[in-house]
Each structure stands twice: as structure tokens, then as C-alpha cells.
């Protein structure tokens, strides 16, 4: 995933947390009003906090973002580092050949066998409205010892940083 320095300095930490995760669970609303999630590879987080994805034009999520006020949630998790990010925003489908050319990677070819000229290839653009993150700055061992201490003493486990960021 390509990430760019953020214009909104508060989103810089979000960018740092998600740039190595790469896969987000994208949640949309289906035609029956149910929340549905699926893994999506982030192609780019641009300088405005916008996230860009490739998808197929025939994918149900394309209709879902068009028919349900385009609200989506993106969830990222790096369990080994105890880093978690939730991004809410609006999505739209764009048939933007220039952006496809810019973001194209051979890693996308298994999903789009005809390459960047695949007629099913389109872009999903997600504009970030709010992000919340939880991040531990301690090693796994320190986190484990702090959890054990809290369990033994009856204290609440307190570790890491939790913050909401608005764009």
C-alpha cells in the first residue's frame, strides 16, 4: 500500500498504523439493511486521508455504496502489535482510468486477469470522516505482564493510546 504524508496532522498516526496492515474489513449495508463486511486491499491512502481500493463493477458492494447513503466503515487490526484502527466515511465508485493507471500493481492481476484494462475493474474511493485508533506502545511481554498484574490486583488493565481523529 502506498501512503502519503497527511495534510491533517492528526491523521498521520492513523496512516502510520495502517500502512503495514494493508487489508481492511470494509463494512457496508446490504439491500435488506444488514451490515456486511469483506476484506479489501488498500491501494493507497492519499494526503487527504482518502483510501483507494480496486473492485469489480459487478460486486454487490458497488450497489451498496450507491444505494445506502454511501456510508462505510473500514477496520484494520494488527494483533501482534496490539494496534487497531476504525475509519468511518463515505464511499463512491469511480470509473477513473487515470487513477487506475496510477494505482495499478501486478499484485491485483489475480482478481483482474486482463490487467488494468479489465472491463470489470473500477475504483472505490473512501473519504475519511472520522478515525479511531487503539495502539499499544509496549511489547507483547509488557502487555501480558500488565494484564496479569491487573487480573491479580483487581485493577483495570490500562495500556496504550485510544484517540478519535476527525478529518
Please count the residues of the chain.
Answer: 167
Segment 103-139, tens digit of pLDDT = 999 989 999 999 999 999 999 999 999 999 998 754 5
**Residue 26 to residue 74: CA distance in whole angstroms:** 5
Nine-digit cell string for 140: 507483547
Ranges of residues in the chain whose predicted pLDDT is under 70 = 67-69, 137-151, 153-161, 163
Q: What is the pLDDT of residue 2?
A: 84
Specify the pTM.
0.82
**Residue 110 to residue 118: CA distance in whole angstroms:** 11
Task: Give the other-Cβ count within 10 Å of 158's Cβ.
Answer: 7
Going along the chain from its start, the domains and CATH numbers come out as 2-166 (2.30.110.10)
Q: What is the pLDDT of residue 159?
A: 66
| Cα-Cα end-to-end distance for the chain | 21
Q: What is the pLDDT of residue 143?
A: 46
Amino acid at each position: 500500500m502506498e501512503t502519503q504524508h497527511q495534510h491533517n496532522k492528526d491523521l498521520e498516526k492513523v496512516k502510520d498504523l495502517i500502512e503495514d496492515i494493508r487489508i481492511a474489513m470494509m463494512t457496508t449495508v446490504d439491500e435488506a439493511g444488514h451490515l456486511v463486511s469483506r476484506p479489501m486491499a488498500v491501494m493507497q491512502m492519499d494526503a487527504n486521508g482518502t483510501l483507494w481500493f480496486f473492485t469489480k463493477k459487478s460486486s454487490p458492494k458497488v450497489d451498496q455504496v450507491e444505494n445506502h447513503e454511501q456510508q462505510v466503515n473500514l477496520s484494520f487490526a494488527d494483533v501482534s502489535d496490539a494496534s487497531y484502527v476504525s475509519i468511518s466515511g463515505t464511499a463512491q465508485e469511480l470509473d477513473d482510468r487515470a487513477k487506475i493507471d496510477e494505482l495499478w500493481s501486478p499484485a491485483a492481476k489475480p482478481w483482474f486477469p486482463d490487467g488494468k484494462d479489465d472491463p470489470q475493474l473500477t475504483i472505490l474511493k473512501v473519504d475519511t470522516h472520522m478515525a479511531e485508533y487503539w495502539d499499544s506502545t509496549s511489547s507483547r511481554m509488557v502487555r501480558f505482564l500488565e494484564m496479569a498484574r491487573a487480573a491479580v490486583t483487581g485493577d483495570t488493565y490500562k495500556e496504550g493510546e485510544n484517540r478519535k481523529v476527525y478529518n
